[in-house]
Amino acid sequence: MAVILFNIRNNPVYIAKEESDLKLHRGDLEDIKADGRLKTISEDEYNSLLTKEKTAQLVGDSVVLEDVENHDGNDGTVSISMSSDDFDSMKNMYLEKVSNILDSKDSDLKREGLDSLKTRLQAFKSGLMNVDKSSITFPLTVNFAKYWVDNESSEFFDDQFIS
């Protein structure tokens, strides 16, 4: 089961596939759990938050998910159209972020309980470096995260988590 961590204003701060992943950023998980701000969510909920299809808020003791409404300010919905160059830009941004976190948190990732996370982050980096665009039809009509979750073999990490 995935988890979501909320701040004291009941807004989401981090989502993670495994609770132990949060130890990379937070040393006070037990306090946060005691406050009721660390909640378990399903894999489907995790993916919908990861791909920005839903937002979350903590209401009382419950996680409330709401659909994200994309509006352009004029007539309603905004269609996504990601070109090959846009895809490359997003891929390079995520590659830089995951490389930076692997470097900056290297000693933390060697701690007990974080070895699985390090392996998964390295797999994400490798996947980004080796993505085969020849099988992708552009323009994409989904965001980068949604494409990755639906089509690639390595796990995708939330932008906030790897920043």
Q: What is the pTM of this model?
A: 0.90
Do 156 and 113 lie in one domain? The reply is yes
142 and 98 co-located in one domain: yes
Tally of domains within the chain: 2
Which residue range is the domain that position 107 belongs to? 84-162
Does the pLDDT of residue 75 top 70, yes or no? no
What are the tens digits of pLDDT across the range 14-65?
999 999 999 999 989 999 999 999 999 999 999 999 999 999 999 999 999 9
Using one digit for the tens of pLDDT, what is the confidence trace for 42-55? 999 999 999 999 99
**Residues 6 and 55 occupy one common structural domain:** yes
17 lies in some domain? yes
How far is it between the farthest Cα atoms of the chain?
52
